[in-house]
Amino acid sequence: MIAGVPLLEDLGDLEGKRVLVRLDLNVPISETPDHKRVVADDFRIRAALPTLMWLRDRGARITACTHLGRPRGAADPAFSLDPVRSRLEELLPGIELLENLRYSPGEEANDPAFVLELVKDQDAYVNDAFGVSHRAHASVVGPPAHLPSAAGRLLAREVEVLTNLLETPARPFVVVVGGAKVKDKIGVIRALADRADTVLVGGGMAFTFLSALGHAIGDSLVDPTQVEACTELLRSGAHLVLPVDTRALAPGGKLSTERDGGVSRAAATGAAPAADATGEVEVFGSEIRAGWRGFDIGPATAVLFAEVIAKAKTVLWNGPMGVFEDERFAGGTRVVAQAVAECSGSTVVGGGDSAAALAQLGLTDRIDHLSTGGGASLELLEFGDLPGLAALRAAPNAIAAAAR
């Protein structure tokens, strides 16, 4: 239950009613040899089915809407929802799906006129798009001001799971954070540091922390604007564990750019690096030689992280441990993914690259909760609320929902 947020049951009798449903069907699209655009991964489409089926079974006339990619406020065939519409029709026939919301500049601008266009002739609104509920976009925050509204099953479940991490995690509670940009995650690390028993830090973001400790990091990624914040966090007494070794690429070396649906085929299969991957790779300890660039946690760090994860009762993982698109730097992410999958405690994985890694390694089914929204997960964990949730709490039927 989400405090103050109306749920599907709070919409009342839906027989014959028109219901606008905001989904997050921003799925990867690939192209077949005959140049047909198809859905490469339908995870988000399947995640939307419980809400759509619940509404359909109660006689609602459903109009679904979503965005796809970044068409920047203009119609673009490259971002047409045709392949998404086709896959949705295969999974659940009879659902009307509007064209890409971001074809209109009014979507990202939260234009009141675009909101009125969306809600015209609709009787109710459902937000089941957790992945964009941290965005104050027209289709997310606009309709609840005009229509009885509710959180869909997916949105409600995401919020419940992540809120429980903040309030009542089984201990030891281990947080694993990775990815490239420390700026994007320093806030959530700070928010979780007091609640977690251990925070494991990997990925490119780790180098800013290592730099704050005075370690030589060669030419590895560092954000000088965040060094002070990292220093303060390290001095706070929080139990942060940083890499003890790093797998690095020699000066002049080149990363593989081979991708398949956003994830490298090499990382998924263990194949040799793509032909465009060049340069010597070496493992360094706490100091990286000048000119070398770290792109993955080293083997000792991977073992260390796996041992901590194995003892956890609750694990939250968000962000890869290295540039796993290049097989030479996929080892750390692979070891962590396997450790999370084998953990006997409760496991939660934030979306994005972490989810992609699990999918490519065939480990998705071994995770207790796989979030559909990486950015939304981080914002909810950091701030405890999202614009999409705040909008639902202000809907015309929210007072009745709060009294349930």
181 and 327: one domain?
Answer: yes
221 and 72: one domain?
Answer: no
214 and 259: one domain?
Answer: yes
105 and 176: one domain?
Answer: no
Give a yes or no: residue 77 inside a domain.
Answer: yes
Would you say 19 and 64 are in contact if contact means Cβ atoms under 8 Å apart?
no
84 and 137: one domain?
Answer: yes
pTM of this prediction exceeds 0.75: yes
Would you say 305 and 202 are in contact if contact means Cβ atoms under 8 Å apart?
yes
Phi/psi at 301 (5° precision): -65, -40
- Is 375 marked active-site? yes
Give a yes or no: residue 352 inside a domain.
Answer: no
276 and 225: one domain?
Answer: yes
Would you say 327 and 267 are in contact if contact means Cβ atoms under 8 Å apart?
yes
Give a yes or no: residue 3 inside a domain.
Answer: no
Report the alpha-carbon distance of residue 316 to residue 170 in Å, rounded. 12
144 and 243: one domain?
Answer: no
- Is 181 marked active-site? yes
Out of 87, 181, 195, 366, the active site residue is 181
Range of the domain at 330: 171-344
Give a yes or no: residue 325 inside a domain.
Answer: yes
Per-residue model confidence as pLDDT tens digits over 27-66 = 999 989 998 999 998 989 999 999 999 999 999 999 999 9
Give a yes or no: residue 355 inside a domain.
Answer: no
40 and 141: one domain?
Answer: yes
Q: Write the CATH number for 81.
A: 3.40.50.1260
Residue in this structure with the two tokens 């972490």, named with its chain if needed? 354
Out of 69, 187, 253, 375, the active site residue is 375
Say how many domains are in the chain: 2
Out of 106, 331, 352, 388, the active site residue is 352
58 and 84: one domain?
Answer: yes
- Is 44 marked active-site? yes
Give a yes or no: residue 277 inside a domain.
Answer: yes
Give a yes or no: residue 359 inside a domain.
Answer: no
- Is 352 marked active-site? yes
pLDDT tens per residue across all 404 residues of the chain: 578 999 999 999 999 999 999 999 999 999 899 989 999 989 899 999 999 999 999 999 999 999 999 999 999 999 999 999 999 999 999 999 999 999 999 999 999 999 999 999 999 999 999 999 999 999 999 999 999 999 999 999 999 999 998 899 999 999 999 998 899 899 999 999 989 999 999 999 999 999 999 999 999 999 999 999 999 999 998 899 999 999 999 999 999 864 433 333 333 334 444 557 889 999 999 999 999 999 999 999 999 999 999 999 999 999 999 999 899 999 999 999 999 999 999 999 987 788 888 888 899 999 999 998 888 998 999 999 999 999 999 999 987 666 55
Q: How many residues does the chain have?
A: 404
- Nearest CA to 332 out of 387, 283, 259, 397 is that of 283
**pLDDT recorded at residue 372:** 87
136 and 206: one domain?
Answer: no
List all residues 6 or more positions away from 263 whose beta carbon is below 8 Å from its beta carbon. 324, 325, 353, 356, 357, 359, 360
Out of 17, 22, 44, 157, the active site residue is 44
297 and 392: one domain?
Answer: no
- Nearest CA to 312 out of 350, 340, 351, 349 is that of 340
102 and 27: one domain?
Answer: yes
